[in-house]
Each structure stands twice: as structure tokens, then as C-alpha cells.
Structure 1
């Protein structure tokens, strides 16, 4: 089988329900760290309390959001801010979380004398707001309107080029001061956002587990704490239990316990788990996929899911585990083949471009407990297509079509 078995494979359970103590290098005396936002608030109607939380950190906030998100959120934000005695000032997000855009937002903060920045929307405006706030040294508040990534809680931003390709990670000395997630907004958002968040969050345990088994480090260069690794595992467990009913609920704009659970797993637990547990191949391969135009229609979490399958292949995980992961994520609505990612007809040169970017010296793929070459990644990507189609066939799922869009 293309999945194969390695002598260091995980226990033979598709859901990775155990983390054996001897696989974790907790005997190391190296520094370990756990990072988290100052406060996390989640629930139906949480947006109506935003003014109270912002007022604890500043008197002249600047809100960063695109026009669609502003239209969706301005009324409750305005009511909340007026109750807290705060002015309401929006700046329109330009669309790409690039260095140029964060510098522009920083200039607007300076022009308005803002003493706190509030990123509202998805991961892109929130990452940009964090970068601009860091430039000026003002508090940063995240207000995700979707549960599509774990960016709202993290002390880093993903920086893209103007063309939409991954450029670098930008790290900060602290996480956002407050994260406010209104699950009514999550339930009313298009379902593909929640699905993408599931893809991003499922990778958290796959990667943290790999880091814990070797000499890898977290996003700030320290070793993982047991807490960080355990939170990554908790995110995974919640998603296997609740992702499918949560997706069904959001299809009907319903806030249910499953939606609350998945929103927390996608946003808080995944954020804590990846930052304090470490990243490995799944996100590095995501970064590689952004280097080619074929995948630009996909959301972050959709590309990450391709990376998760490729990492399992690279690890030599038992075929049964890879197949069950593919079947589960396909049922959730995530891409599980290169075809769905727009790479079904890609030449080897295109895949090599992806692999070269994924294995760049600074990439997190080197947190795996074994060396990985460009050719290894090219072959793993090829295996994703074969295994993805095979698992779909055996489960009676429709054949993959090209490509899945995030819109």
C-alpha cells in the first residue's frame, strides 16, 4: 500500500485515540512554553458585549474589516460601543494580508490616534490587524465572524505576497488581548467556512503528535508542554465527535451544542494546540501549495487537509488510518485528492515547485522526526491522489471532481 507501515507508526487506531508516554520526549530539560490570548469569549450574542471588552484596553479603537463583514456587524458593534462610551471607526481591509496592507493599516492607526486595533472577520483581516497593532505597540483584539481558522488566538500572522503566495510567518511577543467569537455569526456564515476550519484544526493534532515524538519545537522555538499537546488532542477528539452534526446545523443556520464545540475546537483549541504544540508537514505543504496558482481558489483549511493526508503518508501511517481520515474528511466536505485541489493534471514540475517550497529551510516540515526531501513530498502528493480516490470508491462516495472551491 502507498500508506505503508513504519516501525514508529502510531497505535493502530484511525482516530489516534492514544498518545503513548514513551513517544513523547518529555524527559528533555529544554525550555517549554504555552501561549494563549488574554481572554477568550464565545457564545451566541457575544458581539453585543464587544464594547465592554474593548473599553478595558483603549479609548480610541480602530476596527479593520472588509465591506461585507462591516455590513454584517456594524449595527451590533455600534450599539455595543456606544454603550461603552467608545467611538466607532472602521477601516476597510484591502483583501490580502501582505506587508504592504499591514503597513497601510498601521498608518491609519497612527493618523487617527487609535490606541487599540480590532480585527473583524476571517483570518486575513485579523492577521493584518495584529501586524499593524504590533507596529504601533497597541492592544490587539480579534473578532472572528467565522470559525474557519485559528488565527484569532495566535501570536503570529501569516504574511502573503500581493499575489497570494505564502511569504513568511511574523511572530509577536504576545497573543491578542481578547478574542470574541459570536457563534450566531458562525451559524449564519456560509458552511464552507466552518468546513475549512475543521480541516485546519484536524491538522493540529497530527502535527503536534509528530513534534512530540521527535526533537521539533513550537512556533516560538521552545519545546511543547504537555498541556499544548493535550489541547491539540482535545481539538481532534471534539471534531471527530461533532464536526458532521455541526456542519449539518450550520447548513440550516442553527446554533447547537455541536456548533459551539466545533467553533471552540477550530478557534481556541486548535490555536493553542498549534502554537504550543508545534507544526510539522501539513502546514508546510499548505505553504507549498500556495506557491502555484492552481490552488488559489481553495481556503486555508482546504489546502491544509491535503497537507495532513500527505503528512500521514510521509510518516508511513497504517493504511487503515489514512483511509479512515480520508473518508471522514471527505464526508465533512474537505478536499482529499489533488484533483479537488486543482492539481489533478499537474505536471511533476508543478508538484516539485510545491515540494521545494514546502521543504524550504525555514519550514515546519523539518519538525518531523525524520528527514524529508523534495522527492519524498512529490511522491507523497502523488499518493494523496491515489489513496483519496481509492478511499472514496471503497466508501461509496462520489469520485472527486476538480476543483473544490471555497466560495
Structure 2
């Protein structure tokens, strides 16, 4: 008999100014940390991280992250961790740095901690990494025997980041409930390695509810770099609730479509959550969800600032070759789309994606929202 399971990080800390206490929370985990961050992130928070580590009596050693969670970058960081004798790897940055450090920490046989500077993905809390090819295409999921020992989020740092990144996190997190309810229906295995629990599914639904109540207000606050109760709730929903919900609740079509979208070069400049949002709409279409439910989702996520049409992710509904490439990758053997409570074939995904354009554009016009702008116009 398959077992049900919930997994989670050992400690989650969130609040304005939290980064200044990073050393305090790291000290019980390890005495020889190596911090991994890219130059942009280090320029913004490096001083606070250094001061925090020194005040806790910890050495300051930073390794530069090169921007892509590829197998080669994971191996390089793992080598640095081993050469320096580090006993805890600390990711400071976004989902790419975090996924790289989790995988590298595992290879090096040491503990790891995450300090996300954005709330753009649910990567910080999980015991898995998404690995990409050097060209930016999805390659594999890597699963680890434990979750991070610490996840520390400074709400002010998140509020200082571009608002598009918070919006992308909302896109990633909204998919959590759509996928968890599908996984619960099919009683499929989750990313935690067991059947879904009531707890995992409930946390996924709570993430959805918090976002529908707070996301628009939070996005407006972050446009002015303000931390409000709505911002705190959305950061928690994007990071902790969605992290627990996707991992112990299950993934389904939305993230599989995201992975498929990475097979098309035109989408590579988009944030993870932006592509996931297209996957969520595709999943609703595949489910035959009531028109009102799809309409509400398109309108809400457009207002949040997420793409809801193919145009906005660099595709066209009449580009059959690209849509077929996306659909083939999304339905590859082992993909999470097979956790849907019915069979899904490549042609089904291609049709669902092609159908989004007209419907979403009409919804936007009826709601007096802007027409889609081609993705390249943003680049």
C-alpha cells in the first residue's frame, strides 16, 4: 500500500529586516557557511548578509552564481563547497540560485539554507531542484532526502524587487491548488514521494484563497516598495503555502505545460510563474472547467500582471510546429501531466493552448483590460 506523506523545511522565517538576522538562524546549522549569490543580488543585500554573519561569529565566504541551474553549474558549486570545507550552503537570490544550491549541497553532502530575495517561485521550501540545459530548456527534476534546514525571507527586500517578480510568484502559486485538486482526484503520487495528504491539499487551497483576497492589493503596494499585511500574506502564500502545497499536494498539467514551454526558445526570457500561468489556463481548458471559472481566472491574473495569451509568451495560435513541440514535451513520459484524473495526449495540450488566445482576448476586452502585447515588445 502506498503511504501518504507531508514534507517541509525545518524552519521558516519571514518579516521586514529578517536578512539582518540571517547569521543568528544559520549559527545552529553550521559553522562554515558558503553563500552563493549573483553580483546583482550581492550588490543589494551583500552588506546586510556580511554584517549578520560576522555578528554571529561566522566567516564570510561568497561564491558567485552564474545564473542558470544547469547540471554543470550544480557540479561547479558542489566542487567549491567541498574544496572550502563548507558545512552549510546558503542560497541568496531567486529560484535559480536556490535550486542550484539545493542540488549542490546535496552532492557535497552538507546542509543547506535559502534566503530568497524575491517571492517569485515556491522553490525555497522544497526538497527538489529543477535542472535546465545550458540552452534554458527543462531537463529534469532532482529529488533530495530532506528539505532545507532554513528558509528566511526579508519582506522589505522582496518589496524592493521589481513588482513583476511578485506577480510571477502569484502565477506559480495559483497553480498549486489547481494541480493539488487534480492530484487528489486521481490519487497520484506527489513530489514528496507518497500519496497526497489532506494537509497538503488543504495548504494548496489556502494558498489560492490568500492570493485571491490579497494579490491585487499587494501588487499595488510593492509598486511603491511598501510592506503591508497584504504583502506579507502574499509572500507567505507564494513561498511557504505554495511550497508545501505543490510538494505534498502534487503537480499536474500546469507545471508540465510550463516545462513544455521551455522547449521553445521564444519563452526563455519569461519568469517561471509567467509560463506556469499559461499552464494553469491550459489545465482549466483540459478539465473542461466552467466558462465562468476560466473567465474569472483570466481576468484576475491579467489584473495581477500575468500573461494570459500565447501572444504574451512569444507564441501564436497558428504556429502549429511550436505548439506541437510544447505539447510533446509537456506529455513526455514521467511528466506531471499524467497525474491528471484522465488521460492527456499531446494533441489535447496543443488544442488547449491554441484555444486560449481568442477566449482570453475576448475576456480582456469585455473586462476593459488592455489587449495582449507581444512578448518581444517587452524584451
Which bin holds the TM-score, normalised by the shorter protein? over 0.9
Cα displacement string for residues 71-96 of structure 1 (whole angstroms, at most 9, x for unaligned residues): 11111111111111001111000111
- Residues of 2 paired with 1:401 and 1:66: CA distance? 31
1:204 touches 1:273 (CA, 8 Å); kept in 2? yes
TM-score in terms of structure 2 length = 0.98
SS of residue matched to 1:360:
coil
- Residues of 2 paired with 1:308 and 1:33: CA distance? 25
- Residues of 2 paired with 1:225 and 1:65: CA distance? 35
Q: Which of 191, 194, 204 does residue 166 from structure 2 map onto?
A: 194
Unpaired runs of at least 5, structure 1:
1-28
Shift of 1:316: 0.3
- 1:262 counterpart = 2:262: no
- 1:87 counterpart = 2:69: no
Cα displacement string for residues 284-331 of structure 1 (whole angstroms, at most 9, x for unaligned residues): 000000001111121000000000000000000000100010000000
SS of residue matched to 1:327:
helix
2:317 touches 2:357 (CA, 8 Å); kept in 1? no
Q: What does residue 374 of structure 2 align with?
A: 402
- 1:86 and 1:222, CA in 2 relative to 1: closer, same or farther beyond 3 A? same
- Residues of 2 paired with 1:193 and 1:294: CA distance? 19
- Residues of 2 paired with 1:384 and 1:307: CA distance? 11
- 1:404 and 1:176, CA in 2 relative to 1: closer, same or farther beyond 3 A? farther
Unpaired runs of at least 5, structure 2:
none
SS of residue matched to 1:224:
coil
Q: What does residue 139 of structure 1 align with?
A: 111
Shift of 1:110: 1.1
Alignment coverage as a number of residue pairs: 379
Cα displacement string for residues 243-267 of structure 1 (whole angstroms, at most 9, x for unaligned residues): 0000000000000000000000000
CA RMSD of aligned residues (A): 1.1
- 1:405 and 1:217, CA in 2 relative to 1: closer, same or farther beyond 3 A? farther
- 1:110 and 1:292, CA in 2 relative to 1: closer, same or farther beyond 3 A? same
- 1:283 counterpart = 2:249: no
Q: What does residue 73 of structure 2 align with?
A: 101
- 1:274 and 1:405, CA in 2 relative to 1: closer, same or farther beyond 3 A? farther
Q: What does residue 360 of structure 2 align with?
A: 388
TM-score in terms of structure 1 length = 0.92
- 1:327 counterpart = 2:299: yes
**Structure 1 consecutive aligned stretches of length 4 or more whose deviation exceeds 6 Å:** 404-407
1:298 touches 1:406 (CA, 8 Å); kept in 2? no
Q: Which structure is higher in helix share? A: 2
